[in-house]
Amino acid sequence: VTIAGDRSSFVIGLIENRAKEVGVAAFDLRSASLHLSQYIETSCSYQNTKTLLHFYDPNTVIVPPNKTAADGMVGVSELVDKNYQASKKVTMARGCFDDTKGAVMVKNLSARDPSALGLDTYCKQYYLCLAAASATIKW
- pLDDT tens digits, 43-76: 888 899 999 999 999 999 999 987 655 455 568 8
Question: What pLDDT is stored for residue 109 in this prediction?
Answer: 80
pLDDT bin (cut points 50, 70, 90) of residue 116 is low
pTM listed for this prediction: 0.83
Per-residue exposure over 75-99, b if at least 16 CB sit within 10 Å of its own CB, e if not? bbbbbbeebbeebeeeebeeebbbb
Band (9; pLDDT cuts 50, 70, 90) = very high
CA pair distance 105, 48, nearest whole angstrom: 26
Please give the pLDDT value at position 18: 87
pLDDT at 115 over 90: no
- Considering the domain delimited by 10-138, tell me its CATH architecture: 2-Layer Sandwich (3.30)
pLDDT score recorded for residue 122: 62
- 136 CB-contact burial (10 Å; exposed 0-12 / middle 13-18 / buried 19+): buried
Q: How far apart are CA 59 and CA 89, in angstroms?
A: 9
According to the model, what pLDDT value does residue 121 have?
62
Residue 26 — pLDDT band, cuts 50, 70, 90?
very high
